């Protein structure tokens, strides 16, 4: 069994990578990172460092052109500010729409890209780190259980039943993910989640708030904040 893992350098996908290496062995794991034209390159550096740490093959794909029409606040060409607030507070003001850091259909595009690469690289499974906190309130609708199932079905059919998608954390919280990652001794010190590309995490954006809390709930301090 060979696995393609979508990695972004954050804690969810890095835990996913650690889990796949434990389950299938590093020689059967391929990590794939995607550039979507984000404001900084820290995530991509982190995903390279993490792939090197695990000794797995690392594929890098640039899909930035597809997002050049979007004004999502994470993108390099966007002059929108990245919100410094919790997702719950941001959602209270979006009237049911996704948050401003939602990259349009990102996971749909990433999974389709991964499916194509998985077939070419003889991988049977695509792993990715979608989890329930990001799907909550439809902040990121392309992280939900229903979306994952629909994409998984489509990819299974479209690949001639050779590739399936697994999102092992789809019903987990970030706290659960960190708990499993601590057991797996995931190198969280190499990861990066903050939407701002500064030297230290900003501690104010939605993903920083969630990440810090996930470590705290496990009685730990995020190694990036030590």
Q: How far is the CB of 80 from Zn ion (least distance, A)?
A: 15
Tokens matching residue 208: 């920083």
The SS3 call for residue 92 is: coil
Cα-based distances in Å from 143 to 9, 114, 123, 166: 17, 16, 22, 12
Tokens matching residue 81: 């500010």
Nearer to Zn ion, 1 or 225 (CB): 225
Report the interface residues with Zn ion, using CB under 5 A: 194, 202, 205, 208
User: How many angstroms separate the CA atoms of 42 and 45, rounded?
Assistant: 5
Q: How far is the CB of 73 from Zn ion (least distance, A)?
A: 12
Nearer to Zn ion, 83 or 168 (CB): 83
Q: How far is the CB of 129 from Zn ion (least distance, A)?
A: 18
Q: How far is the CB of 49 from Zn ion (least distance, A)?
A: 19
Nearer to Zn ion, 82 or 123 (CB): 82
Nearer to Zn ion, 59 or 202 (CB): 202
Half-sphere exposure of 70 (CA within 13 A, CB side): 20
- Strand arrangement, sheet containing 57-62: 57-62, 29-35, 3-6, 125-127, 164-166
Q: How far is the CB of 12 from Zn ion (least distance, A)?
A: 15
Nearer to Zn ion, 54 or 140 (CB): 140
């Amino acid at each position: 069994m060979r696995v393609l893992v979508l990695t972004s350098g954050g804690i969810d996908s890095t835990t996913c990578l650690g889990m796949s290496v434990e389950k299938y062995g590093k020689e059967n794991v391929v990590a794939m990172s995607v550039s979507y034209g984000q404001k900084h390159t820290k995530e991509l550096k982190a995903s390279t460092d993490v792939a090197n740490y695990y000794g797995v093959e690392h594929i890098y794909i640039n899909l930035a052109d597809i997002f050049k029409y979007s004004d999502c606040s994470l993108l390099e060409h966007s002059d929108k500010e990245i919100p410094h607030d919790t997702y719950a507070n941001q959602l209270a003001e979006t009237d049911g729409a996704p948050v401003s850091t939602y990259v349009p259909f990102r996971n749909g595009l990433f999974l389709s890209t991964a499916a194509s690469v998985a077939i070419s690289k003889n991988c049977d499974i695509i792993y990715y780190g979608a989890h329930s906190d990001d799907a909550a309130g439809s902040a990121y609708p392309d992280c939900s259980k229903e979306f994952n199932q629909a994409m998984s079905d489509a990819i299974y059919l479209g690949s001639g039943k050779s590739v399936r998608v697994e999102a092992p954390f789809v019903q987990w919280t970030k706290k659960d993910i960190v708990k499993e990652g601590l057991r797996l001794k995931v190198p969280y010190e190499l990861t990066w989640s903050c939407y701002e590309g500064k030297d230290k995490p900003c501690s104010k954006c939605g993903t920083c708030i969630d990440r810090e809390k996930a470590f705290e709930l496990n009685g730990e301090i995020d190694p990036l904040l030590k």
